[in-house]
Structure 1
Amino acid sequence: MSPTKKFQNFTERPMGDKKVKAIPGVGNVLSKKFRDGGIVKAFQLYGMYLFMGKDDNEFKEWLKSQFHVDAVNIDQITESISEYARRHK
């Protein structure tokens, strides 16, 4: 399966001031959950990923426990943020 346009836009371009909804796997419902938890920008989730030492499993557990993200969206979000980190060292 080829990457989606949303995935390409997120991983290939600088983080800048992107909203959390720019991350693949984040739609209207998750965007509201994140906003309610104080996360409105993509760099905030990316920062948590870095804070967790780029540990995919720890990040996934955090998304699940803090925001009740389902498995499919957890995988999309983590894959996108992980790929962004790989490309933008």
Structure 2
Amino acid sequence: MSSTSKKHAAFVSEPMGNKPVTAVPGIGPVLGERMKQQGYNKATQVLGEFLTSNREPAPFNNWVQNRSGANSSQSGAATNAMGEWCDNNL
């Protein structure tokens, strides 16, 4: 397994707070703008979708890909980060 990015480490170790959607690993400026155009401005909104999917990777990956046009690597990074954040904070 590869090491996590600095973005991932920071995301999972901090409170969700008022982080922008681009704070979510796998979601950079381009994908973040696509998410914002659909009303997903904050990481908490993405977390809500993750929890709505019962923390199941496949449906959440599909949701990220459908909302942002992310590839499987990008959606996987978002899924892994959300899962680890939940493990650490819920």
Q: TM over 0.5, yes or no? A: yes
Match of 2:17, SS state, is coil
Aligned residue runs from structure 1 range 9-88, under 5 A: 9-88=10-89
Q: Give the paired residue count.
A: 89
Question: What is the Cα deviation at residue 62 of structure 1?
Answer: 1.4
1:6 maps onto 2:19 in alignment: no
Partners of 2:45 and 2:13 in 1: CA distance: 18
State the superposition RMSD in angstroms.
1.1
- Residue ranges of structure 2 left out of the alignment (5+ in a row): none
TM-score, normalisation: structure 1: 0.93
- Residue ranges of structure 1 left out of the alignment (5+ in a row): none
Match of 1:2, SS state, is coil
Partners of 1:28 and 1:67 in 2: CA distance: 11
Partners of 2:34 and 2:42 in 1: CA distance: 13
Aligned-residue sequence identity (percent) comes to 28
